[in-house]
Amino acid sequence: MDVKTKDLWVFMETKEDGTAKNVGIELLNPGRRLADKQGGKLVSVVIGYHTDAAVKEAGTHGADKVLVLDGKEYQRYTTDAYTNAVEYLLKKYAPTSMLIGATPNGRDMGPRLSSRLGTGLTADCTSLDIDDASGNIEWTRPAFGGNLMAVIMCPNNRPQLGTVRPGVFKKPSLCENKAEIIHEDFHVPAEQIRTRLLKTILEDSSDFVDLEGADIIVSGGRGVGGADGFKVIQELADALGATVGASRAAVDEGWITHSHQVGQTGKTVGPKLYIACGISGAIQHVAGMNSSDVVVAINKDADAPIFNVADYGLVGDLFEIVPALTAAIKKNKA
Amino acid sequence: MNILVCVKQVPDSNEIKIDPETNTLMRQGVPSIVNPFDGYALEAAARIKDKDADGTRIVVLSMGPQQAEVALRECLAIAADKAYLVTDRKFGGSDTLATSYILSKAIEKVEELEGRKFDAIFCGKQATDGDTAQVGPELAEHLGYPQVTYGLEVTAESDGLHVCREAEDGTEIIGVQTPCLVTFTKPSFDPRFPTIKRKLAARKQEIPHLTIEELTNIDQTHIGLKGSPTRVKRTFVPPRKKSGVVIKEETGEASAQKLYEMLCNAHVI
């Protein structure tokens, strides 16, 4: 595709109530920097149903322009409706590039678009820049479970597409809303949507494990020793208002359910504080938690690789340390 | 139902270590395994076959070097009826878009060889080496099929497939017409193991190779490094955290107390 503008786009995913998901607003932060560097406008693409709140949020967080597609068929994400809609917009305006949040929906739609448009897509980026010599975006992403970082470019095809990991960038600060708002009229007929939602099974709120949204996670691994051992983990989590996580070893042993698993075959998390108890730190676990702001590791084995990623490392028996930590927190709360 | 399962041979990520001296990835001597997510896709196919043994055929397809035959034989031992390997030096250096293009052309060829179309293409959600999760949806688009990602379980129904998938706030069941493509993530159950009998049979099975000679339908400008829109500019091992503090007091209790104070002072809690 030939580029028609120097503009940079940020895809803003919406929730069913029409408000914006955090990641779309976060992406306006690196988006502004990249758009300025390439001398174009920062454009936010809002697709959803009753999207006024999301459109406003894009403007108050610095978008120069907001492209809006509002329709009932966009209320709940479907691959076909969203791919067709974004394809329409990209072909009409032909921007240089588009950032997409690396949410489950973003990672469902991104590759579909790259394949349809015959252009490059870089997955799950954690850092973005522009190569001064060529003007191409440098997409930096983890591979091998975060043990290797790769810098990817898409030199000859446009638009340049990438999904960007949620929680990596901070939301830009609020500013005066000067955004130009453009309502587009494009609808996807029902027969073009080849999937249908038959049933949703919302997790019982008492069973629901919100690892991805948690500010603090206390995780247990093989060192916890059994299902009973998770009691001390749960107590610390309760004292901190934290969510309980687990390593694959603990899940495979059947001590805790898979919905608690952090790591390559579990959830990828990025809390403010991650406390790893009795977790050795296998690559597949670290892949899921190494974007946490602060990591505490508690382990008997001083050579455990988890200490390589820890900000605070405690060598010792978790059954002494964890209850003592819980007690200290409770004492100071009281 | 005819099901094609796409699999990739990957290094066992539990065995990969970082060389502490050079800070580089130690890949040598790391055993290769079937990408775990592809294993879940194969299990999903096997469960359809459990319910309808006579009416279900499972074919596995992999793209990779000759050595990837080992992964295909494992799939044959677990549940697959037939395996094909897509292999050619010219395919090397392909990014996800070029890879998915080659796979789409290989699927056309396999359908010709098998004498029937596939009703469903199953893939792992992502491979544990690249972690992109892009090949499945890109392949679906090349084929023009609908897709369902993050599948956990699937059943064959009269109106197509019903896929139970992981959603952000629980699970949902999606109905999708066939032919379609489904990618799978980790379910709550463990995939089956191969039996000795199947293992022995798998060892003898012939695995046809599909090279550029066979895949005459391929446009060679869309494959390999040259046909890939993305380029790896450089790779590096991320710097280790240097700021890590070790807390080791006389007792566990004292260590906990010190940690508590440090976390409070740093305004973490």
pLDDT digits (tens, 9 = 90+) for A226-254: 999 999 999 999 999 999 999 999 998 99
Cis-peptide, bond into residue A189, ω within 30° of zero: no
pLDDT digits (tens, 9 = 90+) for A32-53: 999 999 999 999 999 999 999 9
CB contact under 8 A, B255 and A314: yes
Q: Is residue B231 part of a domain?
A: no
Reply yes or no on whether the pLDDT at A201 is more than 90. Answer: no
- DSSP assignments along A75-99, one per residue: SS--HHHHHHHHHHHHHHH--SEEE
Question: Which comes out higher in pLDDT, residue B249 or B148?
Answer: B148
Residues in chain B with CB shorter than 8 Å from the CB of A283 are 13-14, 16-17
The pLDDT of A134-142, averaged and rounded, is: 95
The CA-based angle B21-A142-B104, given to 5 degrees, is 125
What's the rounded Cα separation, in Å, for the pair B84 and B209? 6
The pLDDT of A98-124, averaged and rounded, is: 97
Q: Is residue B230 part of a domain?
A: no
CB A43 within 8 Å of CB A9: yes
Structural domain of B245: 239-269
Dihedral over Cα of A239, A242, A243, A245: its sign:
negative
Q: Is residue B228 part of a domain?
A: no
Shared-domain flag, residues B61 and B175: yes
Shared-domain flag, residues B90 and B179: yes
Q: Is residue B247 part of a domain?
A: yes
Shared-domain flag, residues B69 and B175: yes
The token pair at A289 is 């938690």
- DSSP assignments along B120-161, one per residue: EEEEES--TTT----HHHHHHHHHT--EEEEEEEEEEETTEE
Shared-domain flag, residues B248 and B117: no
Ordered by where they begin, the domains of chain A are 8-192 (3.40.50.620), 216-333 (3.40.50.1220)
Domain count, chain B: 2
Name the residue among A264, A270, A229 with its Cα closest to residue A247: A264
Q: Is residue B126 part of a domain?
A: yes
Strand-pair category, A121-125 with A180-183: unpaired
What's the rounded Cα separation, in Å, for the pair B178 and B118? 9
CB contact under 8 A, A145 and B248: no
Backbone phi, psi, residue B41, to 5°: -65, -40
Q: For residue A296, what are the CA distances in angstroms to A104, A146, A271, A323?
A: 28, 18, 12, 15
CB contact under 8 A, B16 and A152: no
A78's CB contacts (< 8 A; 6+ apart) are A193, A195
Q: Is residue B234 part of a domain?
A: no
Question: Which comes out higher in pLDDT, residue A208 or A56?
Answer: A56
Name the residue among B85, B100, B162 with its Cα closest to residue B136: B100
CB B157 within 8 Å of CB A127: no
User: What pLDDT is attached to residue A17?
Assistant: 94
Q: Is residue B122 part of a domain?
A: yes
Nearest Cα of chain A lies from the Cα of B252 at a distance, in angstroms, of 5
Q: Which of A83, A293, A317 shows the shortest C-beta gap to B252?
A: A317
Dihedral over Cα of B21, B26, B30, B33: its sign:
positive
Shared-domain flag, residues B187 and B249: no
Q: Which of A273, A315, A327 shows the shortest C-beta gap to B268?
A: A273
The pLDDT of A147-157, averaged and rounded, is: 92
Shared-domain flag, residues B265 and B144: no
CB A329 within 8 Å of CB B262: no
Nearest Cα of chain A lies from the Cα of B261 at a distance, in angstroms, of 9
Please report which confidence band the pLDDT of residue B12 belongs to, taking 50, 70 and 90 as the band edges. Answer: confident
Shared-domain flag, residues B150 and B255: no
Which chain A residue has its CA at the smallest distance from B16's CA? Answer: A283
Nearest Cα of chain B lies from the Cα of A32 at a distance, in angstroms, of 23
Shared-domain flag, residues B156 and B244: no
What's the rounded Cα separation, in Å, for the pair A177 and B236? 40
The token pair at B262 is 């440090």
The token pair at B111 is 């359908």
User: What pLDDT is attached to residue B242?
Assistant: 64
Shared-domain flag, residues B59 and B130: yes
The pLDDT of A120-126, averaged and rounded, is: 95
Shared-domain flag, residues B121 and B76: yes
pLDDT digits (tens, 9 = 90+) for B162-192: 999 998 778 999 999 999 999 999 998 889 9
Reply yes or no on whether the pLDDT at B269 is more than 90. Answer: no
Shared-domain flag, residues B181 and B68: yes
Q: Is residue B227 part of a domain?
A: no
Shared-domain flag, residues B205 and B264: no
What's the rounded Cα separation, in Å, for the pair B41 and A142? 24
CB contact under 8 A, B168 and A104: yes
